[in-house]
């Protein structure tokens, strides 16, 4: 990287004696504060001790010490997703840095703005396999939007300014800054961070709108009789939910929201179809399969949405794609109308001239599908069903909570049965499917939204991957309500082995898990356990009345599966519907 000298020399090439000398670490902290970093999550170690020393006595710098680096990066992720701001995480070199990799990949797959700060060994021993050395910039190159290796502390103001800009503009994503120990201790003169617009060669954060393409889309909508919108996480990341609502109301097009798009369009709206794809609802999947115009807005045609590509939207005469990242256009699905740009800007322009589609009969058909094939499960008075638990949580919160999830069956039940009223209300690992994400991401979301109710929904498998972060909830009185859906099995793996591997179950038994209530109490957190509906109501309402963190374990049957389901290698209209007996018919090409 080209070195930048920040006016530290006078005209004779000497340090200006009138300016105060500070360390690179002090400069780093000042730059973070100037960038508006409200809270940094991290874990110290030898190569970052200069950073941590600079924090001493600094009242403007808030840092939360997690119990594992993975917890720190997931917390920063949850903070970023729930606030729209850049999350910041700090870790030391070697194993500290590599422990961040899973969380960095999680953020990269879901386009989450993070700035990751790692320490490294001194520049004099870089490349010598020194103690706790890792080439973290090379390791993370495939899973970061950009990264830096800092060799001169004078470059820090520019690098920090660029990193925040890169992370939170265009298609958002994680940016890593690796700082050797001697650089963090280098004496430099205190200078102001750069401000104003950043122009980076080759980087175009907001592509110029091609209005003729948007006009083509508007004309196609006016001719369409069976249009459908697939709205993804990009709608939320670009703060375009209001524009999408206006667009739908003007064009009269039904909307399916992907897992990451949930909350980006109001679930109470009459044209909301639900979630499409692998565990999508019947109405959404059939709408896609029978549409004559498919419009993807901020969704990348992920394989969990499209399923078998040869057979995706076979009736579509046109497929349109609105996305800020040109690399996504045509990557998975052939695109006929490409509208590249910030979704808020694209829809803002489209709404000026939007025309209604010819969708009257189509909407009637879709409403009939919603009525005929709703989400359903076999309720029980003797057992506590996981779907019932999610419905109860929704009813008691009126859809106003921030829900974070781990990954597995509970994640899909939360997506299906909790109805989200607002964007940034569902925090979940979509593209990477990272177990252990649920609890630490809830901590970050609660830190970023201290006045909101934050609920972390976890399975008994994922809960054990970052359970140690309950200590942070207790120490800082972070009032997250922790839900554990305990079926004593790796449920999603079991479901796949049951259906696709002829019930050959292999290494999925979690019966030896800890007593989650006692574990919570060991960390100083209230804990409850419910086996029945009555206990579920009682303990959940008690948890909501407690001002601090609480864990509620709901013991559910291990044989409950997530339906509907589309198997890998099949098309969206080949759905296992489940139903009252968790079996039910398989529908082929139903219309």
Q: Which amino acids are annotated catalytic?
A: 69, 131-132, 181, 492
43 vs 63: CA distance, rounded Å: 10
Among candidate residues 273, 293, 296, the one with its CA nearest the CA of residue 368:
273
b/e for 523-547, b at 16 or more Cβ within 10 A? bebbbbbbeebebbeebbeebbeee
538 vs 525: CA distance, rounded Å: 18
User: DSSP string spanning 365-432?
Assistant: HHHHHHHHS-------SSS--HHHHHHHHHHHHTT-SEEEE-SSHHHHHHHHHS---STT-EE---SS
Total length of the chain: 591
Q: Is residue 578 within 8 Å of residue 561, measured between CB atoms?
A: yes
Torsion of CA 565, 484, 299, 325, to 10 degrees: -140
The residue behind tokens 């969990």 is 304
The residue behind tokens 């974070």 is 404
Largest CA distance in the chain: 85
Torsion of CA 237, 243, 246, 251, to 10 degrees: -80
246 vs 258: CA distance, rounded Å: 19
Among candidate residues 394, 567, 430, 334, the one with its CA nearest the CA of residue 105:
430
Q: How many CB atoms are closer than 10 A to CB 498?
A: 15
Half-sphere exposure of 117 (CA within 13 A, CB side): 30
198 vs 167: CA distance, rounded Å: 13
33 vs 38: CA distance, rounded Å: 7
Which residues make beta-bridge pairs with 404?
A: 427, 456
């Amino acid at each position: 990287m080209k070195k930048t000298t920040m006016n530290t020399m006078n005209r004779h090439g000497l340090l200006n004696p009138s300016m105060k000398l500070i360390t690179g670490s002090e400069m780093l902290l000042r730059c973070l504060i100037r960038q508006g970093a409200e809270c940094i999550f991290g874990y110290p170690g030898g190569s970052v001790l200069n950073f941590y020393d600079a924090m001493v006595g600094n009242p403007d710098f808030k840092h939360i010490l997690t119990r594992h680096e993975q917890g720190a990066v997931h917390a920063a992720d949850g903070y970023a997703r729930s606030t729209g701001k850049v999350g910041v995480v700090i870790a030391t070199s070697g194993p500290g840095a590599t422990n961040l990799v899973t969380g960095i990949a999680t953020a990269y797959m879901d386009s989450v703005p993070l700035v990751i700060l790692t320490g490294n060994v001194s520049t004099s021993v870089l490349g010598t396999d020194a103690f706790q050395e890792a080439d973290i910039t090379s390791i993370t190159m495939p899973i970061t939007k950009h990264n830096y290796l800092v060799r001169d502390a004078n470059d820090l103001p520019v690098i920090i300014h660029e990193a925040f800009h890169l992370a939170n503009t265009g298609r958002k994503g994680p940016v890593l800054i690796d700082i050797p120990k001697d650089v963090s201790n280098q004496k430099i003169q205190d200078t102001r961070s750069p401000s104003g617009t950043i122009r980076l060669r080759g980087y175009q954060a907001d592509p110029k709108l091609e209005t003729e393409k948007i006009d083509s889309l508007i004309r196609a909508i006016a001719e369409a009789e069976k249009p459908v919108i697939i709205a993804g996480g990009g709608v939320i990341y670009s703060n375009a939910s209001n524009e999408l609502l206006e667009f739908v109301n003007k064009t009269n097009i039904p909307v399916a929201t992907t897992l990451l798009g949930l909350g980006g369009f109001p679930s109470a709206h009459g044209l909301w179809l639900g979630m499409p794809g692998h565990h999508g609802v019947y109405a959404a999947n059939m709408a896609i399969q029978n549409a004559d115009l498919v419009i993807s807005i901020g969704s990348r045609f992920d394989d969990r949405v499209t399923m078998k590509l040869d057979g995706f939207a076979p009736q579509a005469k046109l497929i349109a794609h609105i996305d800020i990242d040109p690399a996504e256009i045509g990557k998975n699905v052939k695109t006929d109308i490409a509208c590249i740009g910030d979704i808020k800007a694209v829809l803002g322009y489209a709404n000026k001239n939007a025309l209604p589609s010819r969708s009257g009969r189509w909407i009637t058909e879709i409403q009939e599908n919603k009525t005929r094939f709703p989400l359903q499960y076999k309720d029980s008075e003797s057992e506590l069903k996981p779907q019932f638990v999610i419905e109860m949580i929704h009813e008691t919160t009126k859809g106003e909570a921030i829900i974070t999830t781990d990954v597995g069956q509970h994640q899909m039940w939360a997506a299906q049965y909790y109805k989200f009223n607002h964007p940034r209300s569902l925090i979940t690992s979509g593209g990477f499917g990272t177990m252990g994400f649920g609890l630490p991401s809830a901590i970050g979301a609660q830190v970023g939204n201290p006045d909101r109710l934050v609920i972390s929904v976890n399975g008994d498998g994922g809960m054990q991957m970052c359970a140690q972060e309950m200590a942070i909830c207790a120490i800082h009185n972070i009032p997250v309500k922790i839900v554990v859906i305990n079926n004593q099995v790796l449920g999603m793996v079991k479901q796949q082995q049951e259906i696709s591997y002829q019930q050959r179950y292999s290494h999925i038994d979690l019966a030896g898990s800890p007593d989650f209530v006692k574990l919570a109490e060991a960390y100083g957190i209230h804990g409850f356990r419910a086996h029945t509906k009555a206990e579920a109501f009682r303990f959940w309402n008690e948890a909501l009345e407690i001002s601090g963190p609480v864990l509620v374990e709901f013991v559910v049957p291990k044989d409950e599966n997530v339906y509907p389901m589309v198997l890998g290698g099949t098309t969206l209209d080949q759905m296992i519907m489940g139903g009252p007996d968790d079996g039910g018919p398989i529908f082929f090409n139903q219309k």
